[in-house]
């Protein structure tokens, strides 16, 4: 059943949508990708997995996504990241295992860096760490000019519904959440999974993460034939094995 945390943004009617099942700890929180939500294949698969394992689990929609308040075009990583902070604060959660897909992988790593006492482990699936920098670097001169003049531009996407609405605010806010230049250190285990056929987030991103991140226990598994969705039976099994290794 979908629940809501209400009035936790400037708009007092704002709603943050989530679903929660209770069970043994540490629990698992699934962080979806950009323009995805808690009804995706991986989110629902982990719901069933946690029910069978009697483990607590939360799946949710960032602000600007799914059943939560706000339009995607009006939100950036600031609102998406704050969605996770709000869940921890308002639900008084004990330390959790964060499973992040694409954008969710970036948010999970940043959260674990900022709040190490709240995270038991991170599983990053095609983690799109600092993807806003990559978008800006790949823009043509004309696109960058349009971005500054109009405040946004449309970037074609082979993976989503044809195009991403990229705002100037998204690019600038993204710079505030960079972590790799800080040479971050993690006490918790980190498991990175990335398909070698990923056309949305190049596997080199995860390779860069494992080169820049310092941790007691970190691994990268590159999977032949897997794409960005990482949602077939084989890939879902790899996600649960990564969780169980933590």
- Catalytic residue IDs: 102, 198, 228
Cβ neighbours of residue 110 under 8 Å, at least 6 residues apart? 81, 177, 179
Element (H, E) at 57: strand 55-60
Question: Concatenated DSSP letters for 164-216?
Answer: EEEEHHHHHHHGGG--GGG--EESS-EEEEEETT-SSS-HHHHHHHHHH-EES
* Residue 213, strand partner residues: none
Closest-CA residue to 79 (of 152, 177, 150): 177
Neighbouring C-alpha atoms within 13 Å toward the C-beta of 96: 28
């Amino acid at each position: 059943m979908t629940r809501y945390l209400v009035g936790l943004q400037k708009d007092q009617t704002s709603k943050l949508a989530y679903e929660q099942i209770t069970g043994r700890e540490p629990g698992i929180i699934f962080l979806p990708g950009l323009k995805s939500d808690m009804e995706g294949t991986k989110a629902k698969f982990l719901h069933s997995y946690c029910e069978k394992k009697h483990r607590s689990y939360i799946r949710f929609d960032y602000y600007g996504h799914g059943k939560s308040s706000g339009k995607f075009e009006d939100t950036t990583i600031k609102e998406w990241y704050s969605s996770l902070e709000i869940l921890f604060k308002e639900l008084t959660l004990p330390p959790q295992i964060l499973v992040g897909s694409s954008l969710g992988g970036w948010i999970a790593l940043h959260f674990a860096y900022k709040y190490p006492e709240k995270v038991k482990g991170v599983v990053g699936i095609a983690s799109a760490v600092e993807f806003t920098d990559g978008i800006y670097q790949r823009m043509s001169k004309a696109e960058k000019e349009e971005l500054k003049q109009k405040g946004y531009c449309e970037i074609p996407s082979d993976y989503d519904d044809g195009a991403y609405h990229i705002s100037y605010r998204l690019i600038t806010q993204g710079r505030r959440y960079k972590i790799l230049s800080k040479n971050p250190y993690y006490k918790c285990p980190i498991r990175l999974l990335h398909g070698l056929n990923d056309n949305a987030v190049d596997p080199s991103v995860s390779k860069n993460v494992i080169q820049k991140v310092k941790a007691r226990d970190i691994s990268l598994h590159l999977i032949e034939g897997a794409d960005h969705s990482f949602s077939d039976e084989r890939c879902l099994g790899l996600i649960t094995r990564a969780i169980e290794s933590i």
